[in-house]
Each structure stands twice: as C-alpha cells, then as structure tokens.
Amino acid sequence: MTFRNSLRLHWYYIPLIFFLVFFSCQNKNQHQIQQTALYPPTEQTEDGGTLVVGIRTEPETLNPLFALSQSARNVLGLIFGRLADINADLETFSPGIAKSWEVSSEKRQIVFHLHQNIHWHDGRPLTAEDVVFTYQMHIHPVIAWDGISYKQNISDVTAPDDSTVIFKFHHSNHTMLLDAVEGYILPKHILQQYPPEKLYTAGFNRRPIGSGPFIFVEWQDLQHIRLAKNESYFKATKPHLDCVIFRIVPDNFNLLNQLKSGEADMVEGIHPKNFLAIQKSWEAGRSAIRPISYLGRRYDFIGWNLIDPQSYAEAVAAGATRASIDSLIRPNKLFGNQKVRVALTMAIDRQAIMNSVNFGMAVPLHGPVPPILPSYNADANIVWEYNPGKSLDWLAELGWKDHDGDKILDRDGEPFQFEILTESGNLHWEQVATIVQAQLAEIGIRTTLRFLEPALLYGKRLPNREFDAVIIGWTVGLTPDYAPLFHSDYFFTPFHFNGYYSPEFDRLDALAKSAPTKAAAQRYYDKIARLLSRELPYTWLYYRMECSAIHSRFKNIIFDKRGLYVNLEDWWIPQSERLKIDRIFEN
C-alpha cells in the first residue's frame, strides 16, 4: 500500500509567535461561542485570512521524491500539483495539471493535454518536459521513490510538444490512468542540476518550488512552516486564503491547548477521548471549535518479525538479493510459525482494545484491504475471533505449556517471552501496548514494553529487523497496493520490515495489477485478503475514525476518505468572522 496522499514573499520582522499568541488570546473570548454554517447558503466567497494548522511531527523533507510522513505530504499537497486528482469515489479523476486526456487500451497509451497557463513559483512555465523528467526520477533506482510500483507497467513517457505528454504501457489494464497520474510533478529546470545521488541533500528539499495553490515561504526548525497564496495560480480565482502556517507542536497536551486557546485553528489525529469532549462543547454551543470525524485512512496493527534478525543482518552484509531469501534468511523462532501468530491473535481481545482506546471511534479490521476502498470485501477475510482457550490449545499443540507451574508458558526450558516496541509519545499506541501486554499475560505469555523515539524505531530498529513485535499504524493510499509491505521485490526495503515472503502473494499481486478490468482485479484482491488474513504477517487491530477539529470561521471545507486537505484552495473566511491573525498577511 502506498503511504501517501495518493499530493517568495518578504518576511515580516515582527516575530510570528507573538502575533499568534497575543492576537488569538486577545480574541478568544470574543469568538469562542460564535458558531456559523460550514457552507453559507447565500454568501459570496471572500479572499483573505490565515489558517494555522497544528502538527505533531516536523516533516522530514519537502521533496516529494523522499517524503514519507503524513505531515510532509499534507504540506506538499498545497505546494505541488498532479496531472489529475482522484475523486471521492476513488475510481474516477478530475483534471489537474492536465486539462484532458485520451486513454487507448488498443494502443496501450494515454495522451495527456496540459494546461498552458501553469507556471512554477519562480515564474518559469510548466511544460511536458517537466512531466517526462518527473517520470525519470520516479523510476530511478538511486532515488528509490516509494511509489515506484505504480510505474512498473509504464514502458515510456515522451513529450511531442510543450503541452502534450504520451504515456505508453507494457500491458493494457484497469490501472493505466492511476499509474500515470500518481506522484507530484517536479521542476526539471531546478532538479536536473543535481545528480540523482545528490538529490537527497539538495537545498530544494527545504526550499521547494512547486506549481500548486500555495508558495513556500519559510521553514523554521521545530517552529513552523509558512506558505503564502500563489497569486499566479492557474485557477485564477483561487486560493482564497492568504497564508497557511503549519505549527510544529510535538506534545499532544500542548497541541490540544493551543487548539482551545486559538493559537492553532486546526488539528488532526485528536485522541478520541479529547475529541468527544470537543464535540460535547460544540453541541452545547460553548465553543467555536468544530469537530470533524469520518472514516479516514489509518489503521493500527501488531507487526510480527517473521525472520531471524541475525540471519537478516548477515544476508544484508553479504549483499543478498531477492533470489537468495530462501537460502540466507532463517525464520524467527517464535513468529516464523503461522500457528503461533494465529494463537497470539486469538489471545488478543481486539474489540475491547478498540472500545477502550478509541471510545467507539473505530471499526474492526481483519485483513489488509481498508474499508474505504472499492476493493474492500469483508467476506474475503478469515476472521480469528477472540478465544484465549483455543489460543492455548494451539500453543499446546506446538509444545508451549506451563511445565514448571510458574504461570508462564515454556517449551524445552525456554519461556514464551518477547519484547513489544512502539513509538514513544504516542499515547494511543502506548495504551494499546499496555492492554496487549495484560491480555497476553492472562494466557501465560510474558512481554516487555519498550517505547522508542521515532528516529530510533523507524530509522534503525525496524529497517534492521531488530525487534520481536511492534505496535504502529499505517496511513493508507487511496488505491490498493500492498507490494511495498509484502512483495518479495521490496524485501530489503524499510516498509517491508517484518520479513513476509510468499511467492503466492507475489503471483496474486501481479495478476491483480495486470487484470484488464476492475471486476477481474477484484477476484485477486479477494484472494490476497484471504491469504494475508490467514497467514497474519500483521495482527490487524482496527481501522480508525479520523478525529479532527477546526475553527468554525473556515467555510466550504470538503472532507472525506481522501482527507481534510481535499479542497483547501476553496476554503475561505467571511470578513465578519475574521480574527486579527487573519489580517497579518493580507496583501
């Protein structure tokens, strides 16, 4: 699954933080109970105003080739554009940089016609050569773009003139348009000056130049990223807001307080308990903070390490490839056995965890296909219900029993014990880990919890396979692509961290992607769901409702499974509801 949103003005010399705190606090009592309609029935849109988004994690980069975090992708979606944008049905597309296109299954090609009035933020025109260059970067092995699987069926991309791009494909299938438009278009005239191996450290990564509705202005480390309205945006009447500021507030408690005080206008990923309190205040008319919830794009899971960490390290040191997985990689002594993974899954009361941690703001998930996707079929999954007695029976068949009466299962004198990792500071996952620990203890399994800083967890322990089990979550793409997580082509890449290897999955994945129609592909997606829900490389816990909140002065917000940033260029604030912060960056 692809893990992304499958998307110079002079600085004022008065410190931004002073304005944010002083003006928002000065006005919060005046505006805190003013609640107005999200879609005013008669008012005309008005330009101006500032949106302050509170985010927990600082983006790792603002180069679309390397961005992995959701915080980075939310910013990138405002700076850059795609050839076409996916619609709410997740099956059709609307024009973006391309104003139209023709798909020819017989010729195995798509011809895109670009808008001719789009310019990069430095004033240079965007042309078909930028699209060709972007494709070349997407497939370059040194770049290792995380969406490269979308481009595997593309055989060539050419630009017969400045406004025409032709994509040619190896095979005609149902994903041709999707494969072509995935990824933000990049400026050739800037990035071509860097050899691919130097791009990862290019200055562009912190000072991007795009073609989207907002222009990058500045990035102050651990403080904020500021964007300004693109006055030359090709959609002449948009955007309406003057400025978007992403404030970096790593602490959940402070972030919530800044939302309440007015220092932040919008926050995503609010803990369900806090979200319900915000909802209660809104419904009672005591707050101007509008709660927003929808079935989003995040699920949480337990990832089991299926391979022996030492054998993996030795294989990497020896330059192992996909062809040598069987000969060099040994299975994990615990989790390499599918019956152990099933037994552990049956010992975990996922419904109780979902109710306790999510306060009802989640839905059950038993397999890899997210319920927001058209390819989701609940009947395709094998459901392992909570049954600790049966779990013990399965483990006993494998020799795991309490032989010495110490209430811990053991086999051949070795206790059944392992370590569970999760991200420190993520109260949600820390709480899940604590509950899982208690539930496994009830059947005689001893676990140790370790909460690690993100840099250590994602930068070392998981990529190096130095773990037993981990509780984290993914933000899913808007199309079904499970290869980065489970396909052997990705075995030695960071996302494929748990060592799952299945020639059958590889076969089904290829058949799904090459199927000529969506109906034909669905048969293979169902088989993939069946396979993975049986083999359980993950124990899927639940699919989360997105819990967000935004100040009620912002209008015309569209939110759905694609997220909260679907149409930010259309957001606006009535003059009568503006705060002083909205006037700081007025033109």
Q: Is residue 73 part of a domain?
A: no
Check whether residue 359 and residue 453 sit in a common domain.
yes
- Same domain membership, residue 466 and residue 414: yes
Taking the whole predicted model, whether its pTM rises above 0.85 is answered as no
Q: Mind giving me the DSSP string for 510-550?
A: HHHHH-SSHHHHHHHHHHHHHHHHHH-SEEEEEEEEEEEEE
Here the tokens at position 243 are 């400025």
| Residue 304 shares a structural domain with residue 373 | yes
What is the structure's pLDDT at 42?
63
Query: What is the domain range of residue 331?
Result: 297-544
Q: Which CATH number does the domain housing residue 577 bear?
A: 3.40.190.10
- Quote the number of domains for the chain: 3
Q: Are residues 236 and 372 in the same domain?
A: no
**Position 521 in a domain:** yes
CATH of the domain at 125: 3.90.76.10
pLDDT given at position 186? 98
* CA-based torsion, 147, 153, 154, 155: positive or negative: positive
Residues in CB range of 292: below 8 A, 6 or more apart:
546, 548, 549, 550, 557, 559, 564
518 falls within a domain = yes
The answer to whether residue 505 is domain-embedded is: yes
Give me the pLDDT at residue 34, please.
Answer: 62
pLDDT of residue 426: 85
**Residue 205 maps to a domain:** no
- Which of 315, 292, 351 lies closest to 549 in space, CA to CA? 292
| pLDDT at site 33 | 62
- Examine the domain organization and report whether 537 and 559 are in the same domain: no
CATH number of the domain to which 514 belongs: 3.10.105.10
Nearest partner of 428 among 273, 257, 266, judged by Cα: 273
Q: Determine the Cα–Cα distance for residues 470 and 448; give it in Å rounded to an integer.
A: 11
Are both 120 and 269 inside the same structural domain? no
Helix (H) or strand (E) holding 130: helix 128-139
Q: Which residues contact 140 (CB under 8 A, 6 or more apart)?
A: 196
Coil, strand or helix at 16: helix
Same domain, yes or no: 226 and 324: no
- Whether residue 239 sits in one domain with residue 159: no
Residue 22 near residue 551, CB atoms below 8 Å: no
- Residue 5 domain flag: no
Same domain? 387 vs 500: yes
Domain annotation covers residue 501: yes
> pLDDT at position 16, please?
34
The enclosing H or E element of 220 equals: strand 214-220
Q: Identify whether 578 is part of a domain.
A: yes
Mean pLDDT, consecutive 10-residue stretches, the chain (587 aa), reads 34 31 37 68 86 94 92 96 95 96 93 98 98 98 91 96 98 93 97 96 97 98 97 95 96 93 95 94 94 92 97 93 91 97 98 93 94 93 98 98 96 97 91 98 98 90 96 87 92 92 96 91 96 98 95 94 93 93 77
> Are residues 284 and 310 located together in one domain of the fold?
no
pLDDT score, position 587:
61
Cα 250 to Cα 72, 261, 316, 459, 522: the distances in Å are 15, 17, 34, 18, 41
Contact in structure between 52 and 263 (CB atoms under 8 Å): yes
Q: Is 245 in the same domain as 324?
A: no
Assess whether 307 and 272 both reside in one domain.
no
